[in-house]
Amino acid sequence: MDELPIQSGDDVVRVRQQVRTAAAENGLSLVDQTKLVTAASELARNTLVHGGGGRARIEVVKSANGRAGVKLHFADEGPGIADIGLALTDGWTSGNGLGLGLSGARRLVDEFELDSKPGTGTTVMVVKWSR
Amino acid sequence: MEQVPIVKIGQTLFVSIQIDLQDDTVVRLQEDLADELSRTGASGVIIDITAVEIVDSFIGRMLTMIGSISRLFDAETVIVGMRPAVAITLTELGLSLSGVRTALNAEKGLEILNGKS
């Protein structure tokens, strides 16, 4: 699927809408759709605010046992995260938020992979499976 | 940037969110509500989120802050109409919206505010 730019608040809303559509079309329940869209919102905001902008990609995937899922990729070339363990801790914040963005997003999805190095940017991949 | 309208009926400010919320829009709403509370001396705020499909950590924090700000103007905020999927997601996210009252719908929210004299 096409890459979606994340350069503004409007783009974050557009990513949420596209994720909602993909989740609904692939059999995720309303609660799971809401969880995935909420996670997407947190991650897209991180890409915009901390990564200085970037892009998202939405992919439809199938598990080994035939379940459909929606996989999201977020990437930026921002400053990166020096201490990933710390960044994933509830309540730890680099700004004036609650520090629930990254850790909360991880709880809302079934699979979560974060890759980041200082100076090279950050990529996050998440998957939510239909039940 | 879109703006969320604020309607005053009696002593209550009504806000019904009907758009996909951007961070800027919520910050603007917070400022507009503080202005309106100061200008009108309203004693209550009802925020209807029936149409809101997601509340993430930023929007949740802003709703909590609106509750705190209105208290400084001697007004109480009630969030009404939260969707079940939003309630489940918020809880899993770790947000409790502590400090703001919630009610099933606008009518019940108004009852809470009217009980406060």
* Portion 15-74 of A in contact with B at CB < 8 A: 16-17, 20, 30-31, 33-35, 37-38, 41-42, 45
DSSP per position, A41-85 = HHHHHHHHHTSSSEEEEEEEEE-TTS-EEEEEEEEE-SS--S-HH
Domains and CATH numbers, chain A: 2-129 (3.30.565.10)
Q: Amino acid identity, residue B8?
A: K
B6-116 CATH, one of 3.30.590.10, 3.30.750.24, 1.10.1200.10, 3.40.50.1220? 3.30.750.24
What pLDDT does residue B94 have? 86
Is B85's Cβ below 8 Å from some Cβ in A? Answer: yes
State pTM to two decimals.
0.92
Least CB–CB distance from A104: residue in B22, B57, B88: B57
Alpha carbon distance B31, B72 (integer Å): 14
Is A98's Cβ below 8 Å from some Cβ in B? Answer: yes
What pLDDT does residue A87 have? 79
Per-residue pLDDT tens digits for B7-36? 999 999 999 999 999 999 999 999 999 999
What pLDDT does residue A1 have? 62
Phi, psi for B56 (deg, rounded to 5): -95, -175
Q: Which of A62, A86, A71 is nearest to A123 (CA)?
A: A71
Domain boundaries, chain B: 6-116
Is A9's Cβ below 8 Å from some Cβ in B? Answer: yes
Burial class of residue A49, CB neighbours in 10 A (0-12, 13-18, 19+): middle
Alpha carbon distance B60, A34 (integer Å): 15
Tokens of A24: 């609904």
What pLDDT does residue B117 have? 42
Per-residue pLDDT tens digits for A63-113? 999 999 999 999 999 998 877 888 788 777 766 555 678 889 999 999 999
- Do B56 and A41 count as a contact with CB atoms less than 8 A apart? yes
- Do A41 and B20 count as a contact with CB atoms less than 8 A apart? no
Per-residue pLDDT tens digits for A9-25? 999 999 999 999 999 99
Nearest-neighbour CA in chain B from A76: distance (Å): 19
Tokens of A125: 């991949």
Distances (CA, A) of B28 to A7, B4, B33, B39, B77: 20, 8, 9, 16, 17
Q: Which residues of chain B register pLDDT less than 70?
A: 116-117
Is A14's Cβ below 8 Å from some Cβ in B? Answer: no
Average pLDDT over residues A27-42: 97
Is B115's Cβ below 8 Å from some Cβ in A? Answer: no
How much is the ipTM here?
0.91
